[in-house]
Amino acid sequence: MSIIGKAGVIEAVRRICDIIIANEIPFCDLDSAAGDGDFGMSLAKGFREVRDQWATLDTADIGAFLKSCGMIVTEHCGGASGPIWGSAFRAMGRYANGKDSLTLHEFGEMLEAAVEAIQKRGGAKLGDKTLLDALIPAAGAIRAAALEGKAIAVAFEEARAAAVAGAEATRLIAASKGRASYLGARSVSFPDAGATAIGVIASQLLVPE
């Protein structure tokens, strides 16, 4: 059975922090096309704080670690990013409460818990030109791979492809949520910054072990 350990999850989050911080300006540039242009800065602010407080994070188990990350993200990310990304991390933490490892199936369920938390927070769904257009396909790919008994590396490669394709598909969608919704049809042809961020993270993230 494919198992993802606590150390792998912790390392994955460390890598997510690095990816977000490194892409602060590109993410802002993406957001400037149909938003306020501050998405990258807002997101990087929170994840830079996670990295700065790294030594103080609760690593008792996967759930405790993710919840402690979520609290920092909620507090320090600017704009809508704090509530949305913070809710996702806290939901994953609740799912993984007390767990020192996750099966691939459980990892997929944990991602779906993040999806549900984001939907509850903002009311978005697949096709609304948000980060969910990349996250939902990625979570579905993990779940499908787990049901088919595929290896972790294969599952994550399929999740990467699904996230990138989902993010790219937001170019064809008129925004109905967030700042970009004010542009209506004029938001078509511009990819959603949040979905693109999920695609970039998925593309650059190493497979947790």
Q: Residue 74 is part of which domain span?
A: 3-204
Residue 72 CA to residue 89 CA, distance in Å, equals 10
Q: What is the residue-averaged pLDDT of the chain?
A: 90
pTM of the model: 0.90
pLDDT, residue 62, reads: 98
- Judge whether 209 lies within some domain: no
- Judge whether 55 lies within some domain: yes
Question: Residue 86: which CATH number?
Answer: 1.25.40.340
- Judge whether 126 lies within some domain: yes
CB count in 10 Å sphere of residue 52: 12
- Judge whether 100 lies within some domain: yes
Q: What is the mean predicted confidence (pLDDT) over 157-184?
A: 77
Contact 86, 43 (CB under 8 A): no
- Judge whether 120 lies within some domain: yes
How many structural domains is the chain composed of? 1
Q: Within a 13 Å sphere around the CA of 12, how many CA atoms are in the beta-carbon half? A: 20
Inform me whether the pLDDT recorded for 179 exceeds 70: no
State the pLDDT confidence band at 150, using cuts at 50, 70 and 90: very high
Inform me whether the pLDDT recorded for 183 exceeds 50: no
Per residue in 54-113, pLDDT tens?
A: 999 999 999 999 999 999 999 999 888 999 999 999 999 999 999 999 999 999 999 999
Inform me whether the pLDDT recorded for 162 exceeds 90: yes
pLDDT, residue 155, reads: 95
For the ranges 20-29, 119-128, 157-166, which has the lowest average pLDDT?
A: 119-128
Residue 209 CA to residue 201 CA, distance in Å, equals 17
From first CA to last CA, the distance across the chain in angstroms is 12
